[in-house]
Every structure is written in structure tokens, then in C-alpha cells.
Amino acid sequence: MPEPPLRGITVVALEQAVAVPFATRQLADLGARVIKVERPGRGDFARDYDRRAKGLSAYFVWVNRGKESVVLDLKDATDRALLDRLLARADVFVQNLGPGAAERLGLAPDPLRARHPRLITCDVSGYGTSGPYRDRKAYDLLVQCEAGLVSLTGTPDSVARPGISVADIAGGMYAFTGILTALYERERTGEGSALSLSLFDALAEWMGQPYYAEAYGGAPLTRTGARHPSISPYGHYGCGDGGQVFLSVQNDREWRALCERVLRRPELVEDPRFADNPLRHAHDEQLTAVIEECFARHTAEGVLALLDAAGIAAARLRTVAEFTAHPQLAARDRWREFGSPAGPLRGLLPPVTVAGREAVMGAVPALGEHTAAIRAEFEGPEGPGARRG
């Protein structure tokens, strides 16, 4: 098996919570050496978010696989000197400290890159480095609120938080792709880059479709529960056994197939209420009644069989436990074990599959597990094998 593509790349991460750790974990999965710098005491506060993964934090396990943990007190001169030696040999430095903290610690990108021109720096903030929200603390749900996402999530009567950390994931993905782009650019120019991004800007990009729909659509958007806000039929429909089936019709060809082969109501194709998607969406309540009248004669499994035979996209509403046992994941051998302080854990391979190669999926580190080894490796004023410039 060939070496991982980022073998030989060293990443130093002053990281906490989810966004930056999610980005650097993906670099570790590609073979990069990720040195996670944690504060004395309890380390990254995401270690204490919960105890649901064999006594470990599920958040921490998810985003910190394959890293080395070193505990440093950056107010201590000896530890700060060790960090400087780490940075002298690093390819990437990424941080998501609080507003202004990197500058106070002398870790702003300009002075770092003046000393190390090949270094790629990546600063991740909540709302950016300027503007009235610069100094605000930014946690995932709060950023979702400011970006308008929560206003669109839930039922007409109540907002709801999406079930995953959407703002953190958006920020982490842009940090990951930005770092990969900077590494590619450095191969051509020999120079590093100074990257910066905010969770707010990352999620704002993902709000593009709602923005265009409301800005140019003439009316505010509304919450639609588990129904699609602009496509119909697209959502959940009750069946005769009390079950629910989710289905999606994306075009007029599929609409015809639904009417003729599933609903057995071919006259609906010519019904002026349902002539195209905007009209179907405008008459969604009436359309739902028609669909559920038909589905009431079948079980949920029977409806799924009819939809599959007609080529209509459909899905079951699965719980997390049912997702874990999903036959598609099992059939494609997507699960692997990796180490942790609590023993072996099971996790999914990263989404991108490369022929002849598999992600590294190293162990989750205990707090400070690698401190002694890293101190020994980077001993002396520059450290063995130091890279200058």
C-alpha cells in the first residue's frame, strides 16, 4: 500500500472544541503528523463535553483521532520556547483561540511567517478579525442563530437546533480545504500562506439558497418541519400501518411515474394544481392529502416497494441505532476500529475513497500522552533536524 499523501507534513494545532480539531483530524487521516497543543489541567475543553463514548467525550473522539497530545503552559518561558521550536519545524500552524489571544501570545500570522516563510498559518475565528462582532464568543448554535439557519429549522410553531454542529463542520471543512490548497500552492512557489476564516462566513456561504430565495422571491421563508421548503412532493407521508415514508420527486418525469405507477391516479398529471413544481408546492396540503389517501391502503414497506419499482427516490426514517446497523455501510465494509484511552472504538472510514489506499485512522490521544516524547525530540535551541525558514 502506498504511503499516505500527507506523510512528512507536520501540523501544530492550538485547537479546542470542534471546528479546527475536525479540520486537523482529516489531515491526520491523510497521514499528516498533527501535534495538538493542550492547556495544563483538563486540556481541550471538548474532552469534558460528555462521557458517552466508553467514558470519553463523543465530540472529542470524533474529531481528535490520530493526533499527538502535548501539554504546554504558554505563559511559561520554557514551554513557550518549546512551542517556538515546534513551529520552526512545522508545515502548518492552525489555531482557534479566543479573540486577540494569538496576537497577545506573539502567534499572529505576519511575525510567524516573517520567521518561517514556508509556514502555512490558518486562523479560525467566530466572526472574523474586524467588524462589530470581532470580540464576541462564538459557539456553534450561536453562529447558527446569527446566520439565520435556526430561523429556518423546525416546525411553523417552533424553531429547532439541527442535530449536528453545522457551523463547526462548515468552518472545519473550509479550514481543511484551505490548508490543502495552500500546501499545493507551496509546492509550486516555495512560499507559505496566511489563511483566515470565520465560522460565521463559512455558514453564511451555506445559506446561499435561502438568501436568494428570500431576497428575490418577494416573501419571507417559513419553517416546514421535515418537508422541503421549495420542492413538492418531498417529505414524509403516512401509511396504512402507521409508518412513514419519505419520498422526493425532483422533476416532471418522476411526477408522472408517481401518479401513474404508485398512486394509480394518471389524471393527476394533467391536474392544473400540480402542473409543475412551483404549483405542486403551492398546493402542497392538497397534494399531501391525495398521496396519503393512496398510501393508507399499504404498509410502509409496501409503499417503499412501489416507489422503488417506479424509480422514485425514497427513504426510511432511521434512528441513530438503525443508521449504525445500516446494511449499506456493512455491505461496503465502511467500519474500522481505532485505539483510544478507553480501548478500541469503532468509527467510519473518511468519505473519500482512493483506490489502493486507506485512511490512517490513528488512536485518540490521552491528555499529554506525547508530552515527554515531544520534549525529548525537540530538545535544544532548534531541535534535532530543525528546518529553518
What is the set of active-site residues? 228
Cα 329 versus chain centre, distance: 19
> How far is the C-alpha of 347 from the C-alpha of 344, rounded, in Å?
10
| 68 phi and psi angles, rounded to 5 deg | -105, 130
Q: Which three cell numbers stand for residue 128?
A: 472574523
Residues 6+ away with beta carbon under 8 Å from 356: 1, 2
| Long-range pairs, 137-143, Cβ under 8 A, ≥24 | 137/98, 137/99, 138/198, 138/199, 138/200, 139/17, 140/18, 140/165, 140/166, 140/167, 140/168, 140/199, 141/167, 143/167, 143/199, 143/200, 143/203
Concatenated DSSP letters for 346-380?
A: EEEPPS--BTTB-----PPPPTTTTHHHHHHHT-S
The C-alpha cell 470565520 sits at 198
Length of the chain: 389
> How far is the C-alpha of 192 from the C-alpha of 182, rounded, in Å?
7
For 25-107, strand residue ranges (E) read: 33-38, 67-71, 92-95
> How far is the C-alpha of 88 from the C-alpha of 119, rounded, in Å?
8
DSSP 3-state of 267: helix
Residues 6+ away with beta carbon under 8 Å from 329: 335, 348
Is 68:369 a contact under the CB 8 Å cutoff?
Answer: yes
